[in-house]
Structure 1
Amino acid sequence: MSRVAQPRPQVAPLRRLEPGDAVALVSPASWSDESWLAESVATVESWGFKARLGKHADDRFGYMAGGDPERASDLNVAIRDPEVRAILTLRGGSGSLRLLRDVDTDALRADPKPLIGFSDITALHQVWHQAGVPSVHGAVAGTRAETVLRLLRGETGEPVRRDNGQYGAYLTTTGTASGPLFGGNLEMLARSVGIVDNDLDGHVLLLEIHRTVGLGMVDRALTQLLLSGALDGISGVAVGTLEGFDDYEDRGWNVLDVLRDRLSPLGVPILAGLPLGHLEDPVSVPLGVECELDADAGTLTVAALSA
């Protein structure tokens, strides 16, 4: 497979959404039940936008929302439609990685619009990052769903604050860092090495980790990113949820031991315990725009998504 894109160009300006703009709802990964599709459409319409449900958004092909051509088609139809000003992915799961070489990046660069999603959608966020188009790590779910609305309107979100009660918060070190924020699901970032060349020099790396197997998965993924050079030059690390790891140990180590061992040699500030990722009420943040990480204050402040 050829690599997805050439080195990342300058960040494209996005237009803030206005009432009446269209938002596409697509399923590039796993499928959702009918109630979630209906709830998502209702939420988007309650914000004053036109909801455009992808033609194949409720298809089913095993654990994916239809075959690869159908899922890619819905994504590209949304990218190419000048009336669509944002693309909301209905859920993660599995399947986004299959679509990396099918995204119409020329159309995306010609008409930049943000992608919204997290977890498996990290695979596609990398395509947006390569194209120089900001996106949103998050979801229209939970009590903080309207964070996405504020971001689409061009508002600057409130600083994301460390939750000292969240597992892993004490992984936080000291110091400050700045630069564009980019990252997402650790496994998806590692799986994309050799397919997507992420230039993260000067970036603050966002990581959220979902336990599917043991600590070895985390070690292998971080080691792959380190040895590939993908993390060369990063300025800081923002750590979100570590779902499924809070009661898990392997021969005396937990996931924090692995993270500390693999990330400490980078010599950059780490801010952990952020409510980003697999949570009932996740915070949504822009990717590809400037941020300020303050490990001492326990805050991550991210610039506006749109001009």
Structure 2
Amino acid sequence: MKTPPNLKKGDCIAIVATARKVNLNDLQDAIQLAESWGLQVEIGSSIGLSNNQLAGTDAERAADFQKQINNPKIKAIWCAKGGYGSVRILDLIDFSPLQHQPKWIVGYSDVTAIHAHLQNLGIASLHAQMPVGIASKSNASASTLRGVLFGEQQVYTFRNHSYNVTGEVAAPLIGGNLSVLYSLCGSKSFPQQKKVILLFEDLDEYLYHIDRMMQNLKRNGLFSNLSGIIIGGMTEMNDNEIPFGSTAEQIIQEYVGHLAIPVAYGAPFGHQFENLALPLGKTIHLKVDKDKSEIQF
């Protein structure tokens, strides 16, 4: 796995829009934060573009992303916002320069499409808070992002959940947003790795959709060769007038509770107040005991 070098003060990062359109004013908190870390910030040409919901055309977003990949001055690319649209540019981008000059690609939610594609190419990336809305998240959401970018060791401890499966494992981490992973099934971007730890989270989905997605991932064999599972926020779930009959966590437990591998629910990442940074593609240490869960890397 190609791992980007640690950032240092004076390095330059780029903020680009791979999905929904973003205004420069929405980035001011993130720009000030990055500058307080001693970083320089370059604003990509996709910021401020508009094509209905998207930040310009697919070609415009892809060209901006490609420019930042190719520019040796840029040490990390911070995706500005999620929504939808990152998958539309995957086949328009030449990721091969990252094989020789890896740099952190940072984001979550819709950016899962890029993360999954990079993992299959053997390039580590960073599941972390995006610029838009960063001021409304916990201080730890920003501080752990900085910590991972600058190469500091991280230890996350979170409380026990009744559906947890105890155990301890060290393995590479894959995953991201459940809905996006589901949408990649059958494509060359769907995760191919074995003996890994899978993490996932989701937002604003119907409960029967969660069950449908879990059925799909099961039938695609994703659960058959895992070493561990980490479940983040299953946030603002919806139900029909006739209830589905299970919570999101109960649905997930039906599919993973019998796998005889460590499973940790309630991890501090996703569409919630605390969205801690996690390195995808890199080996992490997961420990789940009867009192708490711990992630260390």
TM-score in terms of structure 1 length: 0.88
- Partners of 1:108 and 1:131 within 8 A in 2: no
Of 50, 70, 73 in structure 2, the residue corresponding to residue 60 of structure 1 is 50
Deviation at 1:237, TM superposition (A): 0.4
Whether 1:122 aligns to 2:145 is no
Q: Distance between the aligned counterparts of 1:199 and 1:298, measured in 2?
A: 30
Of 163, 167, 174 in structure 2, the residue corresponding to residue 175 of structure 1 is 167
Q: Which runs of 4+ in 1 moved over 6 A?
A: 246-249
Partner of 1:287: 280
Q: Distance between the aligned counterparts of 1:64 and 1:125, measured in 2?
A: 19
Deviation at 1:79, TM superposition (A): 0.7
CA RMSD for the aligned pairs?
1.9
Deviation at 1:42, TM superposition (A): 1.9
Of 160, 178, 181 in structure 2, the residue corresponding to residue 186 of structure 1 is 178
Partner of 2:61: 71
Partner of 2:13: 23
Deviation at 1:84, TM superposition (A): 0.7
Partner SS, residue 162 of structure 2: helix
Partner of 1:276: 269
Deviations 1:205-259 (A, max 9, x none): 00112123x2121111111111112333111100100101399992432212211
Point out the more displaced range, 17-26 or 288-297. 288-297
- Partners of 2:159 and 2:293 within 8 A in 1: no
- Partners of 1:162 and 1:273 within 8 A in 2: yes
Of 157, 176, 184 in structure 2, the residue corresponding to residue 161 of structure 1 is 157
- Partners of 2:117 and 2:190 within 8 A in 1: no
Q: Distance between the aligned counterparts of 2:204 and 2:258, measured in 1?
A: 23
Indicate how the Cα distance of structure 1 residues 92 and 251 shifts in structure 2: closer, same or farther if over 3 A, else same: closer
Q: Distance between the aligned counterparts of 1:266 and 1:82, measured in 2?
A: 44
Residue type of the alignment partner of 1:225: L
Partner SS, residue 224 of structure 2: coil
TM-score in terms of structure 2 length: 0.91
Residue ranges of structure 1 left out of the alignment (5+ in a row): 1-10
Point out the more displaced range, 217-226 or 86-95. 217-226
Q: Distance between the aligned counterparts of 1:301 and 1:255, measured in 2?
A: 22
Deviation at 1:38, TM superposition (A): 2.1
Partner SS, residue 5 of structure 2: coil
Residue type of the alignment partner of 2:217: L
- Partners of 2:12 and 2:73 within 8 A in 1: yes
Deviation at 1:31, TM superposition (A): 2.0
Q: Distance between the aligned counterparts of 1:20 and 1:199, measured in 2?
A: 37
Q: Identify the structure with the greater strand proportion.
A: 2
Structure 2 counterparts to residues 71-150 of structure 1, below 5 A:
71-140=61-130, 141=134, 142=137, 143-144=139-140, 145-150=142-147
Structure 2 counterparts to residues 230-245 of structure 1, below 5 A:
230-245=222-237
Partner of 2:29: 39
Residue ranges of structure 2 left out of the alignment (5+ in a row): none
Deviation at 1:29, TM superposition (A): 1.0
Indicate how the Cα distance of structure 1 residues 102 and 266 shifts in structure 2: closer, same or farther if over 3 A, else same: farther
